[in-house]
Chain A
Amino acid sequence: MSSQGNIQPAKLVLLGDMGAGKSSLVLRFVKGQFTDYQESTIGAAFLTKTVPEFKVKFEIWDTAGQERYHSLAPMYYRGAAAAIIVYDITSTESFNRAKNWVRELQRQGNPDLIVALAGNKADLAGQRAVEPSEAQGYADENGLYFIETSAKTSVNVGDLFNEIAKRLPKPKQVAKAPGSGNVVLTRDAPAKKKQQCC
Chain B
Amino acid sequence: MDEEYDAIVLGTGLKECIISGLLSVAGMKVLHMDRNSYYGGESASLSLDQLWSKFRAGEEPPKSLGRGNDYNVDLVPKFIMADGKLIKVLIHTDVVKYLEFKACDGSYVYKQGKIHKVPASDMEALKSPLMSFFEKRRARNFFIYVQDYEEKDPRTHKGRDLNRMSMRQLFAEFSLGDDTMDFIGHAIALYKDDSYLDQAALSTVRKIKLYNDSLYRFAGTKTPYIYPLYGLGELPQSFARLSAVYGGTYMLNKPDCEVVYNDRGEACGVKSEGEVAKCKFVVGDPSYFPGKSKVVGKVARAICIMDHPIPGTVDAHSVQIVIPQKQVGRRSDIYVFCSSYAHNIAAKGKYIAFVSTTVETSVPSQELEPGLALLGPIEHKFIHVADYECPLADGKEDKCFISRGYDAFTHFESTVDDILEMYTRITGKDLDLDNLSLNQTIEG
List residues of chain A with CB under 8 Å of any chain B CB. 27, 29-31, 40-50, 64-66, 68-71, 73-76, 78, 109, 177-187, 190-198
Contacts and interface: CB of A to CB of B under 8 A. Distances in A.
5 contacts: A46-B441, A69-B250, A179-B105, A194-B121, A196-B122
B244 interface: yes
Interface stretch (B207-215, B361-369, B390-398, B406-414): B207-215
B444 interface: yes
Contacts of A48: 441-444
Contacts of B218: 183-184, 191
Interface residues of B, number: 73
A178 B317 contact: yes
Given A65-B249, A75-B237, A191-B218, 11 more contacts: A27-B442, A43-B246, A49-B444, A66-B240, A71-B252, A179-B316, A182-B102, A191-B219, A192-B219, A193-B216, A197-B147
A179 B339 CA distance: 10
B241 A76 contact: yes
A187 B119 CA distance: 28
B25 to A, nearest CB: 8
Given A179-B318, A198-B139, A64 B216 contact: no
A191 B216 contact: yes
Interface stretch (B83-91, B259-267, B290-298): B83-91
B102 A181 contact: yes
A65 B244 contact: yes
Contacts, number: 164
A163 B401 CA distance: 50
Contact of A42 (B208, B234, B246, B249): B246
Chain B contact residues: helix, strand, loop or mixed: mixed
A47 B444 contact: yes
A32 to B, nearest CB: 8
Nearest to A49: B444
B81 to A, nearest CB: 12
Of A177, A184, A193, A196, chain B has the most CB atoms within 10 Å of the CB of A196
A198 B145 CA distance: 11
A30 B144 contact: no
Nearest to B214: A190
A47 B216 CA distance: 32
A49 B90 CA distance: 24
B98 interface: yes
A43 B438 contact: yes
Of B124, B139, B246, chain A has the most CB atoms within 10 Å of the CB of B246
B444 A45 contact: no
Of A40, A42, A109, chain B has the most CB atoms within 10 Å of the CB of A42
A14 B22 CA distance: 25
A73 B208 contact: no
Nearest to A178: B342
Contact of B443 (A42, A47, A66, A194): A47
B147 A195 contact: yes
Nearest to B125: A198
Contacts of A185: 87, 90-91, 96, 101
A183 B79 CA distance: 14
A197 B146 contact: yes
Contacts of B443: 30, 47-49
Contact of A186 (B91, B188, B208, B317): B91
Contacts of B249: 65, 68-69
Contact of A192 (B125, B216, B222, B246): B216
B102 A196 contact: no
A180 B124 contact: no
A194 B245 CA distance: 38
B245 A45 contact: yes
A193 B209 CA distance: 11
